[in-house]
Amino acid sequence: MPVLIVANDPKAWPISIPNVEVIDARTYLTRPEYSEMRGVKLFNMCRSYRYQSSGYYVSLLAEARGHKPLPSITTIQDMKSQAIIRLVSDDLDEMIQKGLAPIQRDKFTLSIYFGRNMARRYDRLCLHLFNLFQSPMLRAHFAKNGKWVLRSVATISAAEVPQSHWPFVVQVASEHFAGRGARVRRRAQARYDLAILVNPSEKDAPSDEKALKKFVKAAESLGMEAEFIGKDDYGRIAEFDALFIRETTLVNHHTYRFARRAASEGLVVIDDPQSIVRCSNKVYLAESLALKDVPTPKTMVVHKGNVDTVADELGLPCVLKKPDSAFSLGVVKVDTREELAERLKAMLEDSDLIVAQEFVPTTFDWRIGILAGRPLYACKYFMAPKHWQIIKRDGSGGSEFGKFETMPVEVAPAKAVRAALRAANLIGDGLYGVDVKQSNDKFYVIEVNDNPNMDAGVEDAVIKDELYRRVMEVFLQRIEQRKAGVRSA
């Protein structure tokens, strides 16, 4: 990906960096060779982003050309919005209070250069603001009236950088571009760039290390360069053509913000934000499955008005589920009316609606993997020893899993596969793991999971490396479709 720095006056940008071209705004806007360049990462260092100024048009035309400008037009507009400033202040409130606590004054200005500040104690705060307001150089203004509040964020030009700051700006800019240069050289032969969002410290991650390496290898075999990214790489999303989330997703979580940002930047995203929202809430799933007559165990959406009818409607034992439960957390089986009342009271304090479901005892659950509307794998997940779920937790962070049996999709019961496809198609056309219970010859959908497990030696036990290749083929196909759509628009 070629890198350009665009400034009103390149001579005012006193940094020479290998593999980074510095040009003036008029040249970028008027010379045809820059209009025809593909896959450009552009740093807009113009002195103003005022509406219809040269700086404004640099970012605007960069987006029209399929380039990746920093800042984007969206960022430029966001920084003018006080509503956005208030939202950011709320989101980062704890970090702001902690970072600025030692300051005795009631006003404070923070200069942010490529996500860094000259005082290292502000680096985390700077990085978060840089990730939210993607601009090479920023200035954030804070005020204290009982607590610190972010008042404004603005871009600054090279002319506004104090002379004493320039050695530091040169250092961090050089480090930033040096890192990018290495990535540019590594990707020289790749057609497209894929980011894989992971959390190395996550205990029950959707894919283990061996599986993640297989995804990378599969991507490379198709001409894509895959790179692992983490939570702090939010600001780099626009550098890629696609995002594959391999970290447990939640709506009120950075994984959802990554998905939203990637989708808004035009990337192919799995899991897409709509799938995360729909799968993350058991109430949505219960309502959606019921409306489309997808077979499920008898289910109730419970609220304070019908809480006394659960035992009579579903019988005991029954299963209670928090709306945002995952990995068996927030899912409990209750055996008595006393336990039911106690659990319902506690859960309804956190959410106005929860899900209660008839208990269907089985020795295993079917897990049918669905990708782009087609079955990908079929597994039996057996219940953990002496437990009613596939995961048994000991209360101290430990867990025990049941055994598994993977089989060809063609061998799995056709009714289970059909039920899984019906359920997944209600969510979208992404990657899902549908849990299905079998009772005699009847099959019931329990839930649809976005971001399903794909671990080496488990879900890939039948089709081996073909599993990873099929996922990457969907990414490649969708990237090419989007690129073709942009060119033909």
Contact 344, 353 (CB under 8 A): no
CA distance 173 to 19: 13
Q: Does domain 187-271+474-478 have CATH number 3.30.870.10?
A: no
> Any idea where the domains of the chain sit in the sequence?
3-76, 79-155, 187-271+474-478, 298-358, 364-463
pLDDT at residue 353 in the model = 93
Q: What digits encode the pLDDT tens for the residues 147-189? A: 999 988 888 877 788 989 988 998 898 887 766 544 544 555 5
300-334: b (≥16 Cβ within 10 Å) or e: bbbeeeebeebbeebebbbbbbbbbbbbbebbbbb
Backbone angles phi and psi of 126, in degrees to 5 = -60, -45
DSSP 252: S
For residue 317, say if its preceding peptide bond is cis, omega within 30 degrees of 0: yes
DSSP string, 40-81: -EEEE--S---TTSHHHHHHHHHHHTT-EEES-HHHHHHTT-
From residue 289, alpha-carbon distances to 34, 314, 376, 403, 412 in Å are 51, 17, 21, 28, 22
CA distance 131 to 96: 15
Q: Which one-letter amino acid corresponds to residue 361? A: P
Contact 79, 139 (CB under 8 A): no
CA distance 449 to 325: 11
361-378 mean pLDDT? 97
Give which of 168, 216, 164 is closest to 190, Cα–Cα.
216
pLDDT at residue 179 in the model = 61
227-246 mean pLDDT? 91
pLDDT at residue 185 in the model = 45
Report for 144-148, 240-244, 323-327: range of highest mean pLDDT: 240-244
- 434 CB neighbour count, 10 Å cutoff: 27
Q: What digits encode the pLDDT tens for the residues 290-317? A: 999 999 999 999 999 999 999 999 999 9
- Confidence grade of residue 20 (pLDDT, cut at 50, 70, 90): confident
- Confidence grade of residue 17 (pLDDT, cut at 50, 70, 90): confident
* Residues above pLDDT 90, as percent of the chain: 62
Report for 10-24, 86-100, 229-243, 296-310: range of highest mean pLDDT: 296-310
Q: What digits encode the pLDDT tens for the residues 102-119? A: 999 999 999 999 999 999
Residue 193 has pLDDT above 60, yes or no: yes
DSSP string, 341-384: HHHHHHHHHH-S-EEEEE----SEEEEEEEETTEEEEEEEEEPP
Q: How far is CA 279 from the centre of its chain?
A: 14
Q: What digits encode the pLDDT tens for the residues 247-273? A: 999 888 889 989 998 998 889 999 999
433-459 mean pLDDT? 96
Q: 242-245 and 268-270: which strand pairing?
A: parallel
Task: Assign domain 364-463 to its CATH superfamily.
Answer: ATP-grasp fold, B domain (3.30.470.20)
314-323 mean pLDDT? 94
- Confidence grade of residue 26 (pLDDT, cut at 50, 70, 90): very high
3-76 CATH, one of 3.10.450, 1.10.540, 3.30.160, 3.40.250 = 3.40.250
Q: What digits encode the pLDDT tens for the residues 27-80? A: 999 999 999 898 788 989 888 888 888 988 999 999 888 888 888 887 777 776
* Secondary-structure breakdown of the chain: helix, strand, coil percentages, each rounded to the nearest 5: 40, 25, 35
- Confidence grade of residue 131 (pLDDT, cut at 50, 70, 90): confident
377 by Cβ neighbours in 10 Å (0-12 / 13-18 / 19+) ranks as buried
- 25 is written with which tokens? 């705004």
DSSP string, 375-428: EEEEEEEEPPTTSSSSEEE-SSS-EEE--EEEE-TTTS-HHHHHHHHHHHHHH-
- Confidence grade of residue 86 (pLDDT, cut at 50, 70, 90): low
Task: Supply the pTM of this predicted model.
Answer: 0.76
CA distance 253 to 241: 22
Task: Assign domain 298-358 to its CATH superfamily.
Answer: ATP-grasp fold, A domain (3.30.1490.20)
* Packing angle, helices 282-291 and 414-427, rounded to 10: 110
Q: What digits encode the pLDDT tens for the residues 326-369? A: 656 689 999 999 999 999 999 999 899 999 999 999 999 999 99
Q: Please give the mean pLDDT across all residues of the chain.
A: 89
